[in-house]
Amino acid sequence: MWTQTQILQLAPDAPTANKGRALASIGKWQTLRTDGNALWGECKGSGKLPYFVQIDLLNPAFKCSCPARKFPCKHSIALGLLFTQGSDGFMMEEPPEAVKTWIESRAKRLEKKIEKVDVELEKEIAEKIQAAAEQKAKTLDSRIQNIQDGLPELETWLLDTVREGIASIEKDAVRICEDIAVRMSDAKMKGIATRIREIPLMIGSSPNWIDKVTTRLGEIYLFINAFRQYENLPENLQEELKQTAGINIKKEEVRTDEGVLDNWLILGKSEGQDEVNPRIYFRKIWLWAEKNKRPAMILDYNFGSASFPNTYILGTQFKGELAFYPGTFQLRALVKTQGQTGGLVEFFPGYDDFEDFLLAYANAVSENPWLRSFPCVLSNVRPMIENDKLIVADKNAKMVNIESDKENVMGWKLIALSGGNSMDIFGEWTGESLVPLSACVEGKFVNLVN
């Protein structure tokens, strides 16, 4: 069953969550009912009639008679919180006709939608593939040619920067990087342009910023040399190079590939605004396949808003099929089919030896040198503060750094959660340190970012 934290995570914004907390009091509700599969109740409002609130527990959804435009509304959040609190105010009974009709209609629509989508999607994809195959090939060939035509200019800029010294761009980095980034965008290399625009953000960001910039330039130089041999490379490496350059793959194309069927643990979420373009919002949902023992990342972007189409409840699991984007190290994925949400995550099936994890990371980077995100699942590790730095130690007393803020809030949070004992930690590995996203302590899942 859901926890209060998970219910609050579903709120569209902080004010709605706070208002939901305020309404999570039995005295504000005239009725509270459940049949185990759904919740419903009447919440006192400003009008004569109370608001009728419904929650589908099997296929998470919310409905309320209030005029709110944000979903779930404060009344839905409050009803969910009351239920997770184990409130005695809920009475078991058969759902009224309105609730029964809503639940049944949702189930029928979902079933019909799945069937209809499957049929229409297969037909649409087949028609599009047949009709657009030649045009797509021509367009792709044209973009690849544009990229190859732009490589000499990119190489000249890179070698000049290295020859003159990386510190030479420090004072005017934004202008210097923006000039070449614009030209690379014109050469159909928007992905490379983004990596170049990120360089000014690295300058002065840490004591070893020169090493970080050098690594970034090395990645770009490797891309140049690899793309020059594009026609002679394996297909999976060609796909990786295209995505690194910025040639996007349509989601419907990814969904046509055979997926991975497994029980997927929802371990973490990171979201925010793009550093280069703050108008672009991103969300990364991190999953782990219980049977196949492999990670997956669902990456979504939205322009101008942090609202995303699908809801994923952290610390839960579901059976489903994921289709992975092509490449040398397949990590990004899409959900093809998703079954009913299962039980809670009670432990992380991760690495208890840092050497094993670092070897896995090294193998991933050897397959894809342009890898931007890598999941880190650690089991039975202990967080601690050493020399004012937050670290975690494995069973062999080997340590890695954990990224935290100046006040080490994350560090103290982890230490307080562990109580000096071992715990499981999940996060993103930067190549130097771990950015924690969630933890599992004594069988309890904890979201660390909210």
**Dihedral angle sign, alpha carbons of residues 60, 3, 70, 95:** positive
**pLDDT values of the chain reduced to their tens digit, one per residue, 450 residues:** 688 999 999 999 999 999 999 999 999 999 999 998 899 999 998 888 999 999 998 888 999 999 998 889 999 999 999 999 887 789 999 999 999 999 988 888 888 777 777 777 777 777 776 766 666 667 778 899 999 999 999 999 999 999 988 888 888 899 999 999 999 999 999 999 999 999 999 998 888 888 999 999 999 999 999 999 999 999 999 999 999 999 988 888 898 888 999 999 999 999 888 888 888 999 999 999 999 999 999 999 888 877 787 888 899 999 999 999 999 999 999 999 988 777 888 889 889 999 999 999 999 999 999 998 899 999 999 998 887 788 899 998 888 888 876 666 787 888 889 888 899 999 999 888 899 999 999 999 999 987
Q: Are 296 and 322 in contact (CB under 8 A)?
A: yes
Q: What is the pTM of this model?
A: 0.68
Q: Are 12 and 19 in contact (CB under 8 A)?
A: no
**CA distance linking residue 311 with residue 269, whole number of Å:** 11
List Cβ neighbours of 273 (8 Å cut-off, separation of 6 or more). 279, 280, 281, 282
Please provide residue 113's backbone torsions phi and psi, each rounded to the nearest 5 degrees. -65, -45
According to CATH, the topology of domain 354-447 is OB fold (Dihydrolipoamide Acetyltransferase, E2P) (2.40.50)
User: Rounded to the nearest 10 degrees, how much is the dihedral formed by the CA atoms of 283, 334, 428, 177?
Assistant: -60
Where does 25-114 show beta strands of DSSP type E?
Answer: 29-34, 38-43, 51-56, 61-64, 91-92
